[in-house]
Amino acid sequence: MTISFFIIAAITIVGTAAAMSLKNLVHCVLSLTLGLVGLALLFLLLGAQFVGFTQILVYVGAVAILAVFAIMMTRSAEPMTNLPPASFRLSGVLIAATVFAVLAWAISSATRSLPSQSSQPEVSVNQIGVALMHQFVLPLEVIGVLLTAALVGAAILAMDETGASR
């Protein structure tokens, strides 16, 4: 358990760190993908099969490809020569530290409020489906409407103005 955890954690951290530090944008995306795979493996290690596989399906299969497409279509994948100014970096570090602090506080307080017995709950796909369709049906539908709106917006943006009648 611990050995595999450390290996997977190392993969995740190396992947995400490389995603921030590499020069070539495509390399960044590929190493980010590695980090996402590591995250998925962490989920699997915790016994959350559904979340783990969904992580791979959505992030590796779709989001990474989307990022790659975005890079290929907006700017050249050549390594950047001009680095961002120092103030950018400083503010970046500040934001990262703040986010980390908030998350750490949230997680540590959440673990305190949890019941002490830590038996792994067996969450099956069935239960997730039932929860989504009963307890969380409104948020699910709202997300669905939001995504549909985004899709329609994207289609309108991509529509050829001259040939709109077709």
Partner 1 sequence: MPEIIDQIFVLLKHWLMGYVPSLLKPVVSAILSVVPVLLAFPLLFAITTVLERKGLGRMQNRYGPNRVGPFGFLQPMADGIKSLTKEDIIPRTADHLVHLLAPVVIVIASFLVYAVLPIGRNMVIANLNAGVLFFFAVGSMVELSVFMAGWSSRSKYSLLGAMRAIAQMISYEIPLVLASIVVIMAAGSLSTVTIVNLQATYTGIFPHWYVFTPWGLTGFIIFMIAATAESNRCPFDLPEGESEIIAGYYIEYSGFKFALFFLGEYLGMFATSAMAITLFLGGWAAPFSFLTWIPSYVWFFAKLLALICAFIWIRGTLPRLRMDQLMNFAWKFMLPLSLINIFAAGVWHYMPAGASRWLVVTLVIAVACVLLSRGLRRNQWFHVRTYRFAS
Site string for partner 1, 80-119 (x = CB under 8 A): ----------------------------------------
Q: Is 72 in the site for partner 1 (CB under 8 A)?
A: yes
Contact 19, 35 (CB under 8 A): yes
Q: What is the greatest pairwise CA distance in the chain?
A: 65
Q: Is 125 in the site for partner 1 (CB under 8 A)?
A: yes
| Cβ proximity to partner 1, 61 vs 139, nearer residue | 61
| Cβ proximity to partner 1, 9 vs 54, nearer residue | 54
63 CB-near residues (< 8 Å, 6+ apart): 36
Kindly list the distances between the CA atom of residue 39 and the CA atoms of 5, 48, 76, 136, in Å, as whole numbers in the listed order.
Answer: 11, 12, 29, 25
Distance CA 14, CA 121 (A): 30
Q: Which of 13, 62, 99, 101 binds partner 1 (CB under 8 A)?
A: 62
| Cβ proximity to partner 1, 85 vs 163, nearer residue | 163
Report CA dihedral (54, 111, 105, 127) to the nearest 10 degrees.
30
Span of 5-13, 68-76, 84-92, 95-103 interacting with partner 1 by CB under 8 A: 68-76
Site string for partner 1, 19-58 (x = CB under 8 A): -----x-xx--x--x---------------xx--xx-xx-
What residues line the site for partner 1 (CB under 8 A)? 24, 26-27, 30, 33, 49-50, 53-54, 56-57, 60-62, 64-65, 68-69, 72, 77, 124-126, 160, 162
